[in-house]
Amino acid sequence: MILAKKDIPKALEILSKEAAVYAPSIRKIEDRTTGVIQEEKIFLPFEEGTEIILDGPNTVKPPKDLLFPNVEKMYQYKAAGEDSYIREILPEDEKKILFGIRPCDMRSIESMDKVFFTKTYVDSYYAKRRDQVTIVAIGCLQPERTCFCDSMGIDPNQAPQADVMMNVAGEPEGESYVLQAQTEKGKALLDAISSLDQQEGAEPYQGTVCSLKIRKAEDLDKKLAGMFDHPIWDKVTKGCIGCGTCTFLCPTCYCFDIDNENYGNEGCKYRCWDSCMFSDYTRMAGGANPRPTKKERLRNRYMHKLSYFNERYGETLCVGCGRCIASCPSHLDISEFIEKATAADPDAVSYTDVPAGTDRKEA
């Protein structure tokens, strides 16, 4: 299907009659102290007149919370004799369309699927939302200088697991998109907007590459498994302030806490995102903490992304979206760590800073 760029709003209006549509748009936030208006590009509900931003950099935050909300109620309960009850609160029946997701974020959803659907357990909350969503992915045209997805094995032009793949027709400045259905859900979506099909057009543009290139050992996960006490961790931890920004902006972080909210003899149980970068995350009831300092916590984060997840699920958990690099207040850079870990002597007892490789480029 060939869809003109000018017809995107019409297509979304048609689709929004059958499902809630979420697409990249600009949200304006006013600082209550200074009155300064700040803008951020995130996934927002589509309404008539909403300006959709499909080009340019990726969204500041991934669309992860549409499938795995940062806070969600799980149970309601009441302790009142014969009137006592425990009731599960499942997500509402609501079809959603994620329109304009990038290949790195699509890969992150694939990783989340492995976590919540495999290894003998299915998370009913995630499963229901996932079943009701249709995903339209779009090939990148302008990766940011912090993006390195193609160094992590992801093609910025393709998202094979999306329901529909959308690429600019012809050259990056083309005036239309090529939409290709990749699942039955995708076929149904394209059928719904078939009246807008221009029928003829150029081939999809497939030429995007990331400007940031990193060297990554093919067996980095195994190498890191033998570097648990390596001095590289003392070096990489120096700038970290333990704020957790990296974990809350990461599309593949899925740590959560479960807590209660009580009102007299009734209340609810809810879960909310948590961060392995926080000191309370592994603190036990008696006060002991197996990760007492930033060193242990940052090591766990990087090992999870680059080694532990690979051991359990067969793929690296970092998708190279670069959000943690772009937003870290201390300028920690996981891509730089990957390079240095690749070049490091795994048996070293002291660490000498390894310069970035000659093939590493930053725009």
pLDDT of residue 360: 56
- Is it the case that residue 357 has pLDDT exceeding 60? no
Q: Is the pLDDT of residue 354 over 70?
A: no
Name the residue with tokens 């959000």. Answer: 323
**Per-residue model confidence (pLDDT) at position 38:** 83
Q: State CA 78 to chain mean position distance.
A: 36
pLDDT range class, residue 116, cuts 50, 70, 90: very high
Closest CA relative to residue 299, chosen from 277, 316, 273, 321:
277
What are the tens digits of pLDDT across the range 29-62? Answer: 887 788 888 889 999 999 988 899 999 999 999 9
Helix axes 124-131, 103-117, angle to 10 degrees: 140
Mean pLDDT of the chain: 93
Task: Summarize pLDDT for 50-100 with one digit per residue, the tens.
Answer: 899 999 999 999 999 999 999 999 999 999 898 999 999 999 999 999 999
The distance of Cα 61 from the centroid of its chain, to the nearest Å, equals 8
Q: Would you call 163 exposed, middle or buried from its count of C-beta atoms within 10 A (0-12, 13-18, 19+)?
A: buried
* Residue 363 pLDDT class (50, 70, 90 cuts): very low
CA atoms of 258 and 256, how far apart (whole Å): 7
Range 232-269 burial, b when 16+ CB lie within 10 A, else e: bbebbbeebeeebbbbbbbbbbbebeeeeeeeeeeebb
DSSP string across 109-144? HHHHHHHHHSTT---HHHHHHHHTEEEEEE--SS--
- pLDDT of 320 strictly over 70: yes
Strand partners, 268: 76, 261
Q: How many angstroms from the chain centroid is the CA of residue 266?
A: 35
Cα gap 65→43, rounded to integer Å: 10
Instruction: Using alpha carbons only, give the angle 168, 185, 6 rounded to the nearest 5 degrees.
Output: 30
pLDDT of residue 317 exceeding 50:
yes
Q: How far apart, in whole angstroms, are the C-alpha atoms of residue 3 and residue 200?
A: 10
Reduced to 3 states, what is the DSSP secondary structure of residue 342? helix
| Residue 41 contacts residue 57 (beta carbons within 8 Å) | yes
Flag whether the pTM goes above 0.85: yes
pLDDT at 177: 96
Q: What is the pLDDT of residue 351?
A: 75
Tell the residue number behind the tokens 């990087």, with chain if given.
302
- Rounded mean pLDDT of 254-261? 95
Q: DSSP letter at 304?
A: I
Q: How confident is the model over 291-310, as a mean pLDDT?
A: 96
- CA pair distance 132, 257, nearest whole angstrom: 25
355 pLDDT tier (thresholds 50, 70, 90) = low
Tell me the H-state helices in 201-244. 220-225, 232-237
Average pLDDT over residues 11-40: 90
Whether the pLDDT of residue 362 is over 70: the answer is: no
Percent of the chain with pLDDT over 70: 97
Which residue, among 184, 180, 129, 191, has the nearest Cα to 157 in the 3D structure?
180
- How confident is the model over 222-237, as pLDDT tens digits? 999 999 999 999 999 9
